[in-house]
């Protein structure tokens, strides 16, 4: 990628000293109002960055989403989406998983890794749904978490995206990000869920889950975040964990929204003919 070029009017930029002061304030006990306002600004920035965020697992029914989410453990959504068309065609209903031939099922899901454990979970899920719920996947948290292969995180994915019931999807990556941003210091996933849920309107829980996950995959990487082009930077106590120089940070941005994300941060990417592409521009 070519070096980014500033395309928006100058505005206050984050720096390490500001981030250090913010981190110290958080460590000393950030006020509830101060944290709520800071999180609110970050939520608005995330919504602007990812207006089309959605569950990146392909599905058409609640059962398909449950299966895809089980397969996504230790596997990319992209790989899962490559496997599920044939899987869903072969096993369209809970009864099909309940009576599945283990060897055949394992071969279909082998590319997702840990295929033996996942096959056990899928067969158990099918049997439980058939026996306990008349072959229909239930739509409540209490019922979902009692099913094989479904924990609280998976249940919230299903509820939020297949049933329209707001839920926060707290996995390792979500927890890492909200701790990095100073939203909570909790480590336990359930405590993280409750802490973040208190900061975010319930109606927004599902979309906030998508926004946080998208940002982690595109910008706020675990080892080397793209701090220099991050629109959350002015409110982030961890600014400087990754490169703060925009040129160095820009090459770390991933995903199809790269040009849009750089434009929001105030930068465009110069093309070979010298034109600067920013969000909203048409192709030259």
Predicted confidence at residue 282, as pLDDT, reads: 34
Ligand-binding site membership of 220 (annotated): yes
Ligand-binding site membership of 55 (annotated): no
Catalytic residue ranges: 153, 171
User: Quick check: is 26 in a domain?
Assistant: yes
State which residues form the domain around 165.
Answer: 53-218
138 and 195 inside one domain: yes
**CATH classification at residue 188:** 1.10.340.30
Ligand-binding site membership of 75 (annotated): no
Predicted confidence at residue 268, as pLDDT, reads: 66
User: Quick check: is 38 in a domain?
Assistant: no
Distances (CA, A) of 204 to 167, 210, 260, 272, 275: 9, 10, 23, 41, 38
71 and 175 inside one domain: yes
Ligand-binding site membership of 236 (annotated): yes
In angstroms and rounded to an integer, the radius of gyration of the C-alpha atoms of the chain is: 21
pTM: 0.84
Q: Are 84 and 71 in contact (CB under 8 A)?
A: yes
113 and 243 inside one domain: no
Task: List, as one string, the DSSP characters of 133-172.
Answer: HTTS---SHHHHTTSTT--HHHHHHHHHHHS--------H
pLDDT averaged per 10 residues, the chain (length 284)? 46 72 84 93 95 95 98 95 98 98 98 97 98 97 97 97 96 94 96 96 96 96 95 93 92 92 78 40 34
């Amino acid at each position: 990628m070519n070096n980014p070029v500033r395309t928006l009017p100058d505005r206050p930029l984050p720096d390490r000293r500001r981030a250090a002061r913010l981190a110290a304030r958080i460590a000393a006990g950030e006020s509830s109002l101060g944290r709520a306002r800071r999180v609110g600004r970050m939520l608005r920035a995330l919504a602007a960055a990812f207006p089309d965020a959605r569950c990146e697992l392909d599905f058409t029914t609640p059962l398909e989403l449950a299966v895809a989410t089980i397969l996504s453990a230790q596997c990319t959504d992209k790989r899962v989406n490559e496997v599920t068309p044939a899987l869903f065609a072969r096993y369209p209903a809970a009864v099909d998983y309940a009576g599945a031939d283990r060897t055949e099922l394992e071969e279909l899901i082998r590319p997702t890794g840990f295929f033996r454990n996942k096959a056990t979970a899928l067969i158990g899920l099918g049997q439980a749904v058939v026996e306990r719920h008349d072959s229909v996947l239930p739509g409540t948290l209490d019922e979902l978490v009692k099913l094989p292969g479904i924990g609280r995180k998976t249940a919230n994915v299903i509820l939020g995206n297949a049933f329209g019931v707001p839920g926060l999807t707290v996995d390792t990556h979500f927890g890492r990000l909200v701790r990095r941003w100073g939203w909570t210091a909790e480590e336990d996933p359930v405590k993280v869920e409750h802490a973040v849920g208190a900061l975010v309107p319930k109606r927004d829980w599902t979309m906030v889950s998508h926004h946080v996950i998208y940002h982690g995959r595109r910008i706020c990487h675990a080892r080397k975040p793209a701090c220099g082009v991050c629109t959350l930077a002015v409110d982030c106590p961890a600014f400087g964990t990754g490169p703060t120089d925009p040129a160095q940070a820009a090459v770390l941005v991933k995903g199809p929204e790269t040009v849009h994300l750089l434009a929001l941060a105030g930068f465009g990417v110069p093309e070979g003919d010298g034109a600067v592409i920013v969000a909203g521009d048409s192709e030259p």
